[in-house]
Amino acid sequence: MELAFQWNTGYQVDGMHSFANGIATIDGGTHEEGFRAALTTVVNKYARSKGALKEKDQNFAGEDIREGLSAIISVRLREPQFEGQTKAKLGNADLKGAVQAAVSEGLSQYLDENPGDGRKIIEKSQTAQRAREAARKARDLVIRKSALEGSALVVTTGIVLQELLQGFAGPRAREDIVDRFSALPLLVPDRHDHIEAASLRNACRRAGVQLGRSQRGLEHEDA
């Protein structure tokens, strides 16, 4: 097995190139799997031993550690097992463990002997981890916002709906809900969607008002 890799200041995570008996395995295989597994395990273990990752902290994901990594791995086998006619992926099952063991031993020794490089690897992994988490939160926010905007019953904050459903036990409850629902589209002037009947019906039912076919689109339930 021959292996060479280094980190750079870039942010790509697909900088790995692998070969088996001189054939480029562009779809990876067990030799790449072994390398990735060793890399993730060793760096996380090293980060914890140096206090960079506390007990409560999550491990770095493999993609965090591989960000900015360029690697070339080449193996030679007597009986290579390729998947598919193009030989683009190596499938020798026992190779993963062999590569993982060799990389783990070599990388662990290197980090112990070069703490400065180890610190830089940890710092880059931490930056990648924070960026990944920030991107996840931003994506979740966009999804939630899109879900709200896609709903026919649109309210910009939960306070609007909460205020809408409060106080309907009073004597003017039924008149209030009619007036408030009829004014609701004004709360979101940038949209012109009609309030979905099912959503409106559920909200009205909580307040004791039932949707019907009256002129204003609402009718009162009998007390």
Instruction: State the pLDDT at residue 202.
Output: 59
Per the listing, tokens 């009205």 go with: 204
pLDDT in tens, 92-114: 999 999 999 999 999 999 999 99
Reported as a pLDDT band with limits 50, 70 and 90, residue 132 is confident
Question: Longest C-alpha distance within the chain, in Å?
Answer: 88
Q: Is the pLDDT of residue 185 over 70?
A: no
Q: Is the pLDDT of residue 142 over 80?
A: no
Q: Tell which residue, 43, 44, 42, 20, has the closest CA to residue 30.
A: 20
pLDDT in tens, 56-79: 999 999 999 999 999 999 999 999
Mean pLDDT lowest for which of 13-17, 146-150, 161-165, 187-191?
Answer: 187-191
pLDDT in tens, 112-121: 999 999 999 9
Contact status, residue 36 vs residue 66, Cβ threshold 8 Å: yes
Instruction: State the pLDDT at residue 102.
Output: 95
Joined tokens for residue 58: 């999550």
Quote the crossing angle between the two packed helices 93-113 and 115-150, to the nearest 10°: 120
Distance CA 67, CA 210 (A): 57
Joined tokens for residue 125: 């992994």
Q: Are strands 16-20 and 69-75 parallel, antiparallel or unpaired?
A: parallel
Between 155 and 17, whose confidence is greater?
A: 17
In the chain, where the domains are located: 2-147, 158-220
Q: Across the chain, what does the average pLDDT equal?
A: 76
Q: Provide mean pLDDT across the span 128-153.
A: 74
Q: Is 200 helix (H, G, I), strand (E, B) or coil?
A: helix
Q: Tell which residue, 151, 158, 159, 201, has the closest CA to residue 181.
A: 201
Confidence (pTM): 0.64
Spatial strand order in the sheet of 69-75: 2-7, 69-75, 16-20, 23-24
Pick the CATH number of 2-147 from 1.10.3720.10, 1.10.940.10, 3.30.230.10, 3.40.50.980: 3.30.230.10
Joined tokens for residue 18: 């692998």
Instruction: State the pLDDT at residue 141.
Output: 79
Reported as a pLDDT band with limits 50, 70 and 90, residue 135 is confident
Q: Provide mean pLDDT across the span 163-170.
A: 46
Distance CA 184, CA 199 (A): 13
Instruction: State the pLDDT at residue 220.
Output: 43
